[in-house]
Amino acid sequence: MNIVINEELRAYIDPLTPNEYAALERSMLAEGCRDALVLWGDTLIDGHNRLAICQKHGIEYKTVQNSRFGSIEDVQLWMIDNHLARRSVTDFQRGVLALRKKEIIATRAAVQQESSPAPAADVADSAAEPGAEAPQAGKRNTREDLAKAAGISSNTIGQIEKITKTAAPELVAAVRAGTISINAAAAVASLPASEQAAAVAGGRKELQQAAKQVREMKAASKPPKPPKEGDTAEVSGAANTVGNHSAQDGSDVSLLNRRISELSAENAALKEQIAMLSAALEDARRAA
């Protein structure tokens, strides 16, 4: 039987690690090829590793046809949902697959809008339901929908999207390898690409330190929240009270002035800390 290998489809899903491939090979040598290879016509869409192992060791295998696909995008959507159903898929892989599904569905929705006179509100753009092969009316392709379909949180989806858009290749590889968490990688992805690469070269501890420094700098740079209306009234009332009492007792004014001095000193210390962190990060980049 002539089986065609489409390299685009083979590369669409992350390959097995060497350990995973070796485990699959041992299992097939002991038990044979239990799952049928899935074909779309002559094209293999599921079972690339199993086919290679069968051909290497002369193991018999079966095939099954899936003829309901109308395009390569249909096949890709099926591959995504099929892979998301597996327990061995990491959270990062789940997020990447969910974002790929989002892109396919969004592209289809855009084409449908251009070719259909229907109002935009009626154009479906949802990827929430596993197994969906075409947009369905009345649904939205929200981050929550993607997270639910992928089995991860919407916050994780947002972090993975940031990583895929701004992370250097070295940082993406570190996340895939489990050297750094998704949360920490999203923080490090805020740095210039050269600094990301330097942090990756420094290993796990260097990556964790870089993520910590980024978080601390972001926290220090956040402006203080403006007081609410009720809080403003309380502050004004307190100020008036202090003003009235200060005429009778100058000690209140002294306390306020001392508190202002303390706050000013704390603010200066924070600025100094930010400068030190920035200098340390720059030194680490140069050292790398």
DSSP string, 54-88: HHHHT----EEE-----SHHHHHHHHHHHHHT-TT
Residue 173: per-residue pLDDT: 93
Residue 117: per-residue pLDDT: 62
User: Which tens digit of pLDDT belongs to each residue from 137-149?
Assistant: 334 557 788 888 8
Residue 84: alpha-carbon gap to chain centroid: 15
pTM for this one? Answer: 0.65
Mean pLDDT of 112-122: 65
**CA torsion through residues 122, 126, 132, 133, sign:** positive
Is residue 107 pLDDT above 80, yes or no? yes
Mean pLDDT of 32-55: 95
User: Which tens digit of pLDDT belongs to each residue from 202-214?
Assistant: 999 999 999 999 9
Which of 106, 103, 114, 115 has the alpha carbon at shortest distance from 135?
106
User: Which tens digit of pLDDT belongs to each residue from 212-234?
Assistant: 999 988 888 777 777 666 555 55
Residue 132: per-residue pLDDT: 44
Is residue 104 pLDDT above 50, yes or no? yes
Measured CA to CA, the distance from residue 51 to residue 37 in angstroms comes to: 8
Residue 254: per-residue pLDDT: 64
Per-chain mean pLDDT for the chain: 81
Query: Angle at the Cα of 51 (from 17 to 22), degrees rounded to 5?
Result: 30
Is residue 126 pLDDT above 80, yes or no? no
Is residue 60 pLDDT above 90, yes or no? yes
Q: What percent of the chain has pLDDT over 70?
A: 69
Number of CB atoms found within 10 A of residue 270's CB:
13
Measured in degrees and rounded to the nearest 5, phi and psi for residue 40 equal -120, 95
User: Which tens digit of pLDDT belongs to each residue from 158-197?
Assistant: 999 999 999 999 999 999 989 999 999 999 999 999 999 9
Task: Give CA torsion, residues 273, 276, 277, 279, to 10 deg.
Answer: 160
Residues 6+ apart with CB under 8 A from 126: 105, 132, 135, 136, 139, 140, 141, 145
Residue 14: per-residue pLDDT: 87
**Which range in 131-140, 181-190, 244-253 is most confidently predicted, on average pLDDT?**
181-190
**Which range in 23-27, 216-220, 269-273 is most confidently predicted, on average pLDDT?**
23-27
Is residue 86 pLDDT above 60, yes or no? yes
Q: Tokens for 265, please give them.
A: 């000193």
Q: How confident is the model at residue 130 (pLDDT cuts 50, 70, 90)?
A: very low
Residue 167: per-residue pLDDT: 95
Residue 140: per-residue pLDDT: 52
Measured CA to CA, the distance from residue 86 to residue 27 in angstroms comes to: 17
Helix (H) or strand (E) holding 43: strand 43-46
Measured CA to CA, the distance from residue 79 to residue 114 in angstroms comes to: 27
